[in-house]
Structure 1
């Protein structure tokens, strides 16, 4: 356990909550992916594919950590887990909020061309994503990181004049 704490620069026990949440979320995602792909083959097959998917996602996530470790300015390595959790929650939440709003406005696949529908769906989801990213970043104690990330993203969209 001490080796794990040193690797992730965990100095206090409460910081262990983020790796635990990350592993649980990774396991849940693996199960959902496996269930979506092979739901007809029975629970034993789903569990085996879930475990395989879990290890593949874990390898990919650790690869991303290594690549982003020098790019993102964070105080400790464990904060990267917190940042990834914020990105995951924000992505899911923006779609969760965007769907009812797009239906409320009256935009459906039935009354619009599918290309126009998906374009509007992505635009509405992206608007909520920007707002929720800063909110969840603040909620998880990473406001400054996500505010800087947001400003950089808006500049890339050509909207930098609205934030300066």
Structure 2
């Protein structure tokens, strides 16, 4: 716990607890919120054959489609729980590592 607190630049155990709660809510909520979208695009396990690769394909597609919902909800729940600054910085750092840092560069 102390290593994470140091890495994330937080000082109190309460703030650490809030951050863990936000991560937990975000994971569950993103799957719940994305479910109607997945139904709309027809992503259902029954639509894939019973081959070994179909499970890998299904779960890969599911994760890729849920990911944008997770990103939005992470910042939202961070704001709701008073940790917007932490989660906005966390989000920018994660997207930069994924090669999407151009979204946050200023033109000045």
Which TM-score tier does this pair reach, normalised by the shorter chain?
0.7 to 0.9
Structure 2 counterpart of 1:41? none
**SS, match of residue 7 in structure 2:** coil
Residue 75 of structure 1 deviates from its aligned partner by 4.7
TM value normalised by structure 1? 0.57
Contact 2:5–2:11 (CA<8 Å) still a contact in 1? no
Rounded Cα–Cα distance in structure 2 between residues aligned with 1:72 and 1:116: 34
| 1:85 corresponds to which of 21, 26, 40 | 21
Once residues 67 and 74 of structure 1 are traced to their aligned partners in structure 2, the CA distance between those partners, rounded to angstroms, is 10
Say what the alpha-carbon RMSD is for the aligned residues. 1.3
2:81 paired with 1:145: no
Provide the residue aligned with 2:57 in structure 1. 116
In the TM superposition, residue 115 of structure 1 has moved relative to its aligned partner by 2.4
Structure 1 window deviating more from structure 2 (86-95 vs 107-116): it is 107-116
Give the TM-score normalised by the residue count of structure 2: 0.84
Instruction: Point out which structure has higher relative CO (alpha carbons under 8 A, 6+ apart).
Output: 2
For residues 10 and 100 of structure 2, the distance between their equivalents in structure 1, rounded to whole angstroms, comes to: 26
Unaligned stretches of 5+ in structure 1?
A: 1-64
Aligned length: 100
4+ residue runs of structure 1 moved beyond 6 angstroms?
none
1:121-132 alignment, distance < 5 Å: 121-132=62-73
Alignment of 1:57-68 (within 5 A): 65-68=1-4
Query: What residue number does 1:162 align with?
Result: 103
For residue 72 of structure 2, give the secondary structure of its aligned residue in structure 1: helix
Distance 1:161 1:146 in 2: 18
Which ranges of structure 2 fall in alignment gaps of 5 or more residues?
49-53
Whole-angstrom distance in 2 between the partners of 1:119 and 1:100: 18
Distance 1:70 1:108 in 2: 42
